[in-house]
Amino acid sequence: MAELIGYILAIDAIVTWSVASLVYKVGLERTDIKGTVLFRLVMVSIATFIFSLLFGSYLFLTTLNAGQIFAYLLSCLISGLSVTIGDLMYFNSLQKIDASRAYPLVQLSLVFVYPFAFFLFGESITPAILIGGILILSSVFLLGSKDKDDNNGEKSSQKSENPEHLISGILLAIGSAFCWAIAIVAFNQARILTGDVFITNFLRVGFATILMAIVGLFQREYYSGYKKENRPILKYFIYIGIAGSLSLGLADSLFYKAAEINGLVLISTITANTPMVQQILSIAILKEKFRKRFIVAIILIIIGNYIILFL
């Protein structure tokens, strides 16, 4: 039963992340990235605080000594800062390349998790992991390749044809994957120390919100979501905030809860299928261009991760 619950939580995270990515894509076409990040963080902080009260217990803090509390809070801080920097890079990537191209690329965070696990936790990197990693990385070249003219001679979208947008969008997406990997490792360490995910998620988001609010004192664009002149597009900030509350706020917690039940490697491998769901939704809802090589790339991602898991 425990394994089934873990799978259900992972599937819920996959669907939520996929839907949220579409909301981000549409909303960011009308809002400022920095303003969106802070507005979203504030809403997610409120949501995660409510989730922590409903599903968590702060009593564990009384059982930790000073050193453990420091290590725990430091892990929360690193995770919150890393995931926020990763989000900034991801949002910038979405403004340069399609969501159906950017989202599979950020799933490369799984590739970066293994080296971190090796150096920080002494976990072994087997030949299966190396082979799987090569397959996953090879998908990057497929996803990042330039669009050719389609059969009717029409050019593909200007965004895809612009080499500078393409390259910078891909690099930002990969950088986001790296930052998210750090966030995953730090969060998992905090979970190991306390056995908690909901309060940990609230604390890391809270730290990130405070830091971004301080940065906003010097870069006022972070507060653009609260400016009077942006009231006509306030609803898009709110949509992104709601999506963030469900994605960063709830789905991330469910992901780490599933990892606690079935193990981080297994759950990370399952959630690597997220691009396949996101690809379907991007084409069906956002009417983005269908690229056959995306299917091949996603298959490579799935095969690579299953090799890592089962061989």
Q: Are 52 and 198 in contact (CB under 8 A)?
A: yes
Kindly give, in sequence order, each residue whose CB lies less than 8 Å from that of residue 115, ignoring residues fewer than 6 positions away. Answer: 125
> How far is residue 12 from each of residues 55, 72, 79, 139, 253, measured CA to CA in Å?
17, 27, 22, 25, 11
Task: Give the pair of three-digit tokens for residue 27.
Answer: 């909303």
* pLDDT under 50: residue ranges of the chain: 1-2, 150-160
Report the 10 Å Cβ neighbour count for 242: 17
- CA dihedral 45→48→78→123, nearest 10 degrees, is -160
> How far is residue 61 from each of residues 47, 76, 187, 192, 297, measured CA to CA in Å?
21, 14, 16, 14, 44
b/e for 30-46, b at 16 or more Cβ within 10 A? Answer: ebbbbbbbbbbbbbbbb
User: pLDDT tens-digit profile of 191-236?
Assistant: 989 989 999 999 999 999 999 999 999 999 999 999 888 888 999 9
**CA–CA separation, 80 vs 187, rounded Å?**
9
Q: Which pLDDT value is given to residue 89?
A: 93
**CA–CA separation, 38 vs 203, rounded Å?**
16
Q: Which pLDDT value is given to residue 48?
A: 96
Q: Are 47 and 209 in contact (CB under 8 A)?
A: no
Residue with tokens 């994605």: 247
- CA dihedral 65→68→70→75, nearest 10 degrees, is -160
Q: Which pLDDT value is given to residue 149?
A: 52
* pTM recorded for the entire structure: 0.83
- CA dihedral 181→119→65→254, nearest 10 degrees, is 30
Q: Which pLDDT value is given to residue 159?
A: 45
